[in-house]
C-alpha cells in the first residue's frame, strides 16, 4: 500500500508525462507549420501550387504555441507542487535527500519560461490577426 507522499509523487509524475506529451504535440505542430511555410515559399519559385494549400502556417504555429504554453503550465504547476511537498517534509522534520535550493531554481525557471511562452503566444495570435497568409519565422 502506497503512503500519501508516494501517491502524490505518482500523481506529479503522471502530470509530467501528460505535460511532456502536450509539448511533443506542440513541437509537431511547429514542424508542420514550418514545412507548410517552406512549401509555400518554394512553390512561388517553381510556379506550382503548395501541397497543403488549406493549411495556414500562422494558425498552425499559433496552435503549436498554445500546446507548448499548456505544457509549460503543467510543468510550472507540477514543480511548484513538488516544492510544496518537499517543504512540508521539512516542516514535519522528516528526513529528506538534498535541500530545497535546486527545486526552487526549477520552479522559478519553469514560471519564467511559462511567462515567456505566453508573450510569444500573444505574438503568434497577433500575427494570425494581422496577416493570415504570411510565412512564419520562429
- The per-residue pLDDT for range 100-137, each reduced to its tens digit, is 999 999 999 999 999 999 999 999 999 998 865 555 55
- pLDDT recorded at residue 116: 97
Take residue 70 and report the three cell numbers written for it.
Answer: 499548456
d(CA 78, CA 92): 21
- Domain carrying residue 87: 4-130
- pLDDT recorded at residue 86: 93
- The per-residue pLDDT for range 91-109, each reduced to its tens digit, is 998 888 889 999 999 999 9
d(CA 118, CA 69): 6
- pLDDT recorded at residue 44: 75
Question: pTM of the full predicted structure?
Answer: 0.85
- The per-residue pLDDT for range 39-74, each reduced to its tens digit, is 888 887 887 665 555 778 999 999 999 999 999 999
What is the DSSP-derived secondary structure letter of residue 100? S
Decide: 61 and 125 in contact? Cβ < 8 Å. Answer: no
Tally of structural domains, the chain: 1
CA 97 to chain centre: 29
Residue 102 included in any domain? yes
Residue 10 included in any domain? yes
What is the DSSP-derived secondary structure letter of residue 136? P
Residue 28 included in any domain? yes
Residue 135 included in any domain? no
Can you state the angle between helices 4-46 and 57-91, rounded to 10 degrees?
Answer: 160
Residue 52 included in any domain? yes
Residue 76 included in any domain? yes
> Around Cβ 25, how many Cβ atoms within 10 Å?
17
User: What is the average pLDDT score of the chain?
Assistant: 89
Nearest of 60, 58, 73 to residue 23 by alpha carbon: 73
Residue 138 included in any domain? no
Residue 41 included in any domain? yes
d(CA 76, CA 121): 17
Amino acid at each position: 500500500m502506497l503512503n500519501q507522499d508516494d501517491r502524490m509523487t505518482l500523481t506529479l509524475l503522471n502530470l509530467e508525462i501528460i505535460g511532456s506529451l502536450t509539448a511533443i504535440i506542440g513541437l509537431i505542430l511547429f514542424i508542420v507549420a514550418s514545412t507548410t511555410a517552406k512549401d509555400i515559399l518554394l512553390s512561388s519559385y517553381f510556379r506550382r501550387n503548395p501541397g497543403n494549400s488549406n493549411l495556414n502556417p500562422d494558425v498552425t504555429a499559433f496552435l503549436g504555441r498554445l500546446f507548448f504554453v499548456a505544457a509549460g503550465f503543467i510543468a510550472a504547476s507540477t514543480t511548484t507542487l513538488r516544492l510544496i511537498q518537499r517543504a512540508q517534509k521539512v516542516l514535519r522534520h522528516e528526513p529528506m535527500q538534498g535541500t530545497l535550493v535546486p527545486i526552487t531554481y526549477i520552479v522559478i525557471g519553469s514560471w519564467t519560461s511559462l511567462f515567456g511562452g505566453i508573450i510569444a503566444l500573444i505574438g503568434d495570435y497577433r500575427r494570425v490577426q494581422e496577416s493570415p497568409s504570411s510565412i512564419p519565422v520562429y
